[in-house]
Amino acid sequence: MSHLSDEQIKALELKANDIRISIIDMLEDAGSGHTAGPLDMADIFTAFYFHILNHDPKNPEWVDRDRLILSNGHIVPVRYATMAHAGYFPIEELKTLRKFSSRLQGHPERVALPSLETTSGPLGSGIGQAAGIAYSARMDNRKFHIYVLCSDGELDAGNSWESIMFAGKNKLTNLTAIIDRNNIQINGMTENVMPLEPLADKWRAFNWHVIEIDGHNIQTIVNAVEEAKAVAEKPTVIIAHTIAGKGIKEIEYDYHWHGIPPSSEQEKAWMKELRTLGNKIEASHYN
Amino acid sequence: MLARHLNNIFDITSLKQEPTRDGFGHGLVDSGKSDERIIALCADLSESTRTEWFQKEFPSRYIEVGVAEQNLATIASGMANYGKIPFIMSYAVFSPGRNNEQIRTTICINKVPVKIIGCHSGVSVGPDGATHQALEDIGLMRMLPNMIVVVPCDSVEAYKATTAIAHDDVMPSYLRLGRASTPVLTTEKTHFEIGKAQLFYEVEKSEVTIIACGAMVYHALCAAKKLEGEIAVNVMNLATIKPLDTESILKEAEKSGAIVTVEEHQIAGGMGSAVAEFLAQTYTVPIEFIGVHDRFGQSGTPEELYKEYGLDATSIIQAVRKVVRRK
Per residue in B190-231, pLDDT tens? 999 999 999 999 999 999 999 999 999 999 999 999 999 999
Reported CATH class of domain B198-325: alpha beta
**CB–CB contact A129 B65 (8 Å):** no
Q: Any idea what DSSP says for residue B121?
A: B
Domains of chain B, by residue range, sit at: 17-183, 198-325
Which of B153, B161, B160 has its CA nearest to residue B236? B153
| pLDDT of B29 | 98
Confidence tier at A1 by pLDDT (50, 70, 90): low
| pLDDT of B12 | 82
Question: How many C-beta atoms surround the C-beta of residue B132 within 10 A?
Answer: 18
Per residue in A19-72, pLDDT tens? 999 999 999 999 999 999 999 999 999 999 999 999 999 999 999 999 999 999
pLDDT greater than 90 at residue B11: no
3-state secondary structure string across B170-228: CCCEEEECCCCCEECCECCCCCCCCCCCEEEECCCCCCEEEEECCCHHHHHHHHHHHCC
Annotated active-site residue in B52, B69, B101, B308: B69
User: Do B17-183 and B198-325 have matching folds?
Assistant: yes
Q: Any idea what DSSP says for residue B168?
A: -
Please tell me the number of Cα atoms within 13 Å of B215 on its side-chain side.
27
Confidence tier at B3 by pLDDT (50, 70, 90): confident
* One-letter amino acid of B55: Q
**CB–CB contact B77 A124 (8 Å):** no
Q: How far apart are CA A261 and CA A73, in angstroms?
A: 16
Q: What mean pLDDT do residues B125-146 have?
A: 97
Minimal C-alpha gap between A95 and chain B (Å): 24
pLDDT greater than 80 at residue A286: no
Minimal C-alpha gap between B68 and chain A (Å): 6
Nearest CB partner across the interface for A131, out of B60, B66, B75: B75
CATH number of A6-284: 3.40.50.970
| pLDDT of B260 | 98
Which of B81, B297, B244, B260 has its CA nearest to residue A136? B81
Percentage of chain A beyond pLDDT 90 is: 97
Minimal C-alpha gap between A167 and chain B (Å): 10
Nearest CA in chain A to B83: A136
Measured N-to-C along each axis, helices A6-30 and A76-86 cross at an angle, to the nearest 10 degrees, of: 120
Between the alpha carbon of residue B245 and those of residues A111, A191, B195, B250, B285, the distances in Å are: 27, 53, 6, 9, 17
Beta strand B233-237 with B287-292 is: unpaired
Mean pLDDT (chain B) is 97
Q: How far apart are CA A68 and CA A147, in angstroms?
A: 5
Question: How many C-beta atoms surround the C-beta of residue B16 within 10 A?
Answer: 12
Nearest CA in chain A to B84: A136
Per residue in A183-209, pLDDT tens? 999 999 999 999 999 999 999 999 999
ipTM of the complex: 0.95
| pLDDT of B13 | 84
Residues 6+ apart with CB under 8 A from A264: A28
When scoring A74, A164, A166, A206 by the number of chain B Cβ atoms within 10 A, the one with the most, hence best to mutate, is A166
pLDDT greater than 80 at residue A223: yes
Q: How far apart are CA B202 and CA B208, in angstroms?
A: 11
Phi-psi bin for B146: left (phi > 0), alpha (psi -120 to 50), beta? left
Q: Any idea what DSSP says for residue A31?
A: S
Measured N-to-C along each axis, helices B313-325 and B216-226 cross at an angle, to the nearest 10 degrees, of: 60
Confidence tier at A287 by pLDDT (50, 70, 90): low
Is B69 annotated as catalytic? yes
Q: What mean pLDDT do residues B22-39 have?
A: 98
Domains of chain A, by residue range, sit at: 6-284
| pLDDT of A2 | 76
**CB–CB contact B109 A119 (8 Å):** yes
* B83 near A CB under 8 A: yes
Per residue in B256-298, pLDDT tens? 999 999 999 999 999 999 999 999 999 999 999 999 999 999 9
Nearest CB partner across the interface for A166, out of B75, B80, B84: B75
Selected from 3.10.180.10, 3.40.50.720, 3.40.50.2300, 3.40.50.970, the CATH number assigned to the domain covering B17-183 reads 3.40.50.970
* B110 near A CB under 8 A: yes
Adjacent-strand bridge partners of A176: A147, A236
Peptide bond preceding B183 in cis form (omega within 30 of 0) = no
Q: What mean pLDDT do residues B16-36 have?
A: 97
Confidence tier at B243 by pLDDT (50, 70, 90): very high
Confidence tier at A228 by pLDDT (50, 70, 90): very high
**CB–CB contact A118 B81 (8 Å):** yes
Please tell me the number of Cα atoms within 13 Å of A220 on its side-chain side.
14
**CB–CB contact A133 B78 (8 Å):** yes
Question: How many C-beta atoms surround the C-beta of residue A197 within 10 A?
Answer: 9
Q: How far apart are CA A135 and CA B63, in angstroms?
A: 10
| pLDDT of B97 | 98
Confidence tier at A163 by pLDDT (50, 70, 90): very high
Per residue in A65-119, pLDDT tens? 999 999 999 999 999 999 999 999 999 999 999 999 999 999 999 999 999 999 9
Q: Where are the strands (E) in A81-183, listed by range? A: 146-151, 175-181
Confidence tier at B184 by pLDDT (50, 70, 90): very high
The alpha-carbon radius of gyration of chain B (Å, integer) is 19
Confidence tier at B4 by pLDDT (50, 70, 90): confident
Q: Is the torsion defined by CA of B96, B24, B109, A260 positive or negative?
A: positive
CA A108 to the chain's CA centroid: 13
Which of A69, A233, A245, A249 has its CA nearest to residue A146? A69
Q: What mean pLDDT do residues A129-139 have?
A: 98
